[in-house]
Amino acid sequence: MQGAGGIVSEFNLYNLGKVDYLTGFKDQKRFIDLRQADTQDEIWCLEHHPVYTLGLSGKTEHILSDAGIPVVQSDRGGQVTYHGPGQLVVYPLLDLKRLKMTVKHYVHQLEQAIIDTLNHYNIAAHRISGAPGVYVDDKKVAALGIRIRRGYCYHGIAINIDMDLTPFNDINPCGFKDLKVTQLKDLGVDVKISDVVPVLANSMVNALGYESYLTQNNAQLADLKTMS
């Protein structure tokens, strides 16, 4: 849907709960394969079961020990990271051509949406040059890794809300040795993922140039995934 002056007016927002990483990965690729020029943009919000994912630049030596957590190869950019319950994972499935965004600008605006979301909770967050993601002081609170195909983006961001951070000790997060991580709970913000989703959605509206978003139900997502 287009707004006045060709501005994309809204995206569909889905809250999917806990999703296996490989299932979510395959569903994203299927959506990208099937979407057309007039397909509405979507943003999927979810949690993953414990998993380490290796991006296209990922090196197994950045997994420091066997914690008994599955390791999955992904086609996103970046190195190794950890996903687990209590972390908000967000997959924007957007048409960057329609948004008139370069990849560099898109990444910058994704980070801005996270910074604005944290600012809502009075957390002062920032970028670090050469290290994608969002930080509070010297600790990483949100990771970022994307893939672009045919001008369509998938994968996205992960914000640590209230989770067990221990598995990060067994990797070099994003390929950086001794990188510290943090989460909203440790920063004095006691919220549920369901509380953060609408705040982030509004931040995405502003950062990416939409006018609004529509919260959809999972049955509608299932219908879309069976498009042919």
- What SS3 state is found at 76? coil
Point out the catalytic residue in the list 125, 144, 174, 184: 174
Alpha helices in 49-178 (DSSP H): 96-99, 103-120
Q: Give the tokens for residue 204.
A: 């995405």
Cβ atoms of 70 and 107 within 8 Å: the answer is: no
- Is residue 52 a contact partner of residue 69, using CB atoms and an 8 Å limit? yes
82 bridge partner residues: 52
Write down the residue that tokens 């509380």 correspond to. Answer: 195
Active site (annotated) includes residue 174: yes
Whether 77 contacts 138, CB under 8 Å: no
Beta strands 131-136; 126-128: pairing state: antiparallel
Q: Rounded to whole angstroms, how far apart are CA atoms 73 and 59?
A: 10
The residue among 140, 134, 131 whose CA lies nearest residue 115 is 134
Quick one: which of 161, 85, 74 has its CA closest to 117?
161
Angstrom distance (rounded) from CA 72 to CA 83: 11
Active site residues: 174
